[in-house]
Chain A
Amino acid sequence: MHPVNWAIVVVYLLWVVIDGIRKSKGTDTISGYFIADKSLAWWVVGLSVMATQLSAVTMIGTTGQGATDGLRFVQLYFGLPLAMVILGVTLVPLLHGSGVYTAYEYLERRFDAKTRSLTAFLFLLSRGMSCGTIIAAPGVVLSAIFGIPLAWSVALIGVPTVLYTMVGGVQAVAWADVKQMVLIVVALLSIVVVLVLQMPVSPHDALEIAGATGRLQTFDFSFNLDDTYTFWSGVIGGTFLMLSYFGTDQSQVQRYLTARSVNEAKSSLLMSAYWKIPLQALVLLVGVGVFVYYQFVRPPLLYNPAHEEVVLAEAGATYDDLQQRYATAFTLRETAALEVAAAEAEPSADAAMQTFLAREADIQEIRGEALALAEEVTGEPSRDVNYIIPRFVLSELPIGLAGLFIAGVIAAAMSSISSELNSLATTSVIDFYRRWVRPEATDTHYLAVSKGATALWGTFACIVATYAATLGSLIEVVNRFGSFFYGSILGVFLLAMMPRARGTGAFIGLIIGMASVAAVTFGAPSISFLWHNVIGAVVVVFVGLLFGGLGSDETAPAPEA
């Protein structure tokens, strides 16, 4: 990468860390450190919520998915606006108004200590591991693109994040998120501008080509439990997923607990309700634009440079043969694409389009052979889709903009990791250390422990990220385990709003809910994970109400919002 691009990345990293440490002023109490003394404006919290959800995987993986699969991924978010409105009148007032530091703390007030501890433990287990994978995903890509050891790219992302999160607490996290969100959007819009300016055909022709290859198919109205990306999976399953994530996951709950008032907390979530789908569509359209651009500028056969190097070394002759076929097929497809653009509404338009689609199929076949060869030679899944956008950025964007995009990818990773580390430390200290180990200590003591917990979780996440390749199957197991309880925890919070529900019923419901999701996962593995959340939540509520009378707790009904 050009030194100017590196300079942009370094300036960004220094700025985030220094500004984050400056934000440590006023964080000498645990209320300041964990929930910013409930002092943040709705737009700060709203941007922090969006930045937390938008990770580096969105910047490199989802854009790549736009290039290979088009816009249909956006259906996953169709339930988000409804979920945000529901949360605005249910859990947000409940949690913000009850003066808790964590969502799980509220469960002890409503139910009992065992329900609180189990949900908090499940959160730590799942988020602790996922934090590592959030660093690993961009770490692996940056490592391959720049040819640096994985440990360095993990350190590049992880160390500054741990520093400002540890020193500045939630205020540093939220204000860094604001800057990072702006940087991410600017980086994405820059690519759109470059694509429009450099595209060899008009926007209308570019859309014709994208549409002909199915890249502009957003809506799929079929009702199929096995397919994640359908309208109904998004609206129904997506609503439950978003209710679980934004309503019960401490990494998000802690964002809106920092808002000045309940109304500002609601407004912060509504920002996502309004903007998430347009933003996600923009991310995917960037990928679609890159796909069209590559109809006229020949991209590498394998986008992952590390894999390409290994394949060249170990199967050079076969790969050379594929490269020659690819060069010929590319020229033919480029000619066909230009004919599509030139034909417009002429009678020859249909024939031109059919020729183009046949040439595109040839290219996909050759690429498929190259990917299979790469997987065979390297012994690992290709995941080539994650390298499409980084390769495009580094080879096609002007100097400066490429650095801006790489800084944007790192910003997207940091904004998610910082919120996770912050919430992991909060849950560790509030739900376990203060609850079970040292209930009566000074704020100074808890602050020191919180900073230590942030450093420990950060170190753990970096270790998991560095060994992500060898820990692959373990991470998969933990992620799969995570999907067992996400909807079930939502069920416990739904029970918390029902006056009839009691602690023991909620606890039994949680266990049976997780077991039910596990049974569905193994018994009917083809069912999309989006439906697991629906199943978990419904079973917990049903069982919890069935055992509603159980439990010695004389807990009052859920407090009024």
Chain B
Amino acid sequence: MTEPPAHESPRAVFRRTLARVLAVQIVSLALLGLLQIVYG
């Protein structure tokens, strides 16, 4: 895991982490959504 730069504010850390986590979730949910659309 990459350590955040020392000067980053807690709010910036939160935003950056949230963006990364959400990006991964969007890919997971898109795959599940694709299954539902194609075969459901």
Q: What is A's interface to B at a CB cutoff of 8 Å?
A: 42, 71, 74, 78, 81-82, 84-85, 88-89, 207-208, 210-212, 214, 216-219, 263-264, 266-267, 270, 273-274, 277-278, 281, 561
Contact = CB atoms under 8 A, between A and B. Distances in A.
A561 B33 contact: no
Nearest to A561: B10
Contact of A267 (B1, B18, B32, B38): B1
A356 B18 CA distance: 45
Contacts of B40: 211, 214, 216-217
19 contacts: A42-B1, A71-B32, A71-B35, A81-B24, A82-B21, A85-B14, A88-B17, A207-B35, A211-B35, A211-B36, A211-B40, A216-B39, A217-B40, A219-B32, A219-B33, A267-B1, A270-B21, A274-B24, A281-B32
Dominant secondary structure at the A interface: helix
A89 B21 contact: no
A85 B32 contact: no
B21 A277 contact: no
Interface string B18-37: 10011011001100110110
Dominant secondary structure at the B interface: helix
A85 B21 contact: yes
A216 B40 CA distance: 6
B36 A277 contact: no
Given A212-B39, A218-B29, 18 more contacts: A42-B1, A71-B32, A78-B29, A81-B24, A81-B25, A82-B18, A85-B17, A89-B17, A211-B35, A211-B36, A211-B38, A211-B39, A218-B33, A219-B33, A263-B4, A270-B21, A277-B28, A561-B10
B21 A273 contact: yes
Contacts of A218: 29, 32-33, 35-36
B10 A217 contact: no
A289 B4 CA distance: 41
A471 B38 CA distance: 46
A425 B13 CA distance: 35
A208 B39 contact: yes
Contact of A216 (B10, B22, B35): B35
B36 A219 contact: yes
B4 to A, nearest CB: 8
B14 A207 contact: no
A210 B32 CA distance: 13
A23 B10 CA distance: 36
A106 to B, nearest CB: 19
B18 A85 contact: yes
A163 B1 CA distance: 34
Contact of B25 (A214, A216, A277): A277
Given A42-B1, A89-B13, A216 B36 contact: yes
B17 to A, nearest CB: 5
A85 B20 CA distance: 10
Nearest to B4: A263
Contacts of A211: 35-36, 38-40
Contacts of B18: 82, 85
B14 to A, nearest CB: 5
A78 B29 CA distance: 9
B33 to A, nearest CB: 6
B34 to A, nearest CB: 10
A506 B35 CA distance: 46
Contacts of A264: 1
Nearest to A231: B29
A207 B33 CA distance: 14
Contacts of B32: 71, 74, 218-219, 281
Contacts of A82: 18, 21
Contacts of A273: 21, 24
B25 to A, nearest CB: 5
Contacts of A266: 17
A472 to B, nearest CB: 35
A561 B9 CA distance: 12
A266 B17 CA distance: 10
B25 A89 contact: no
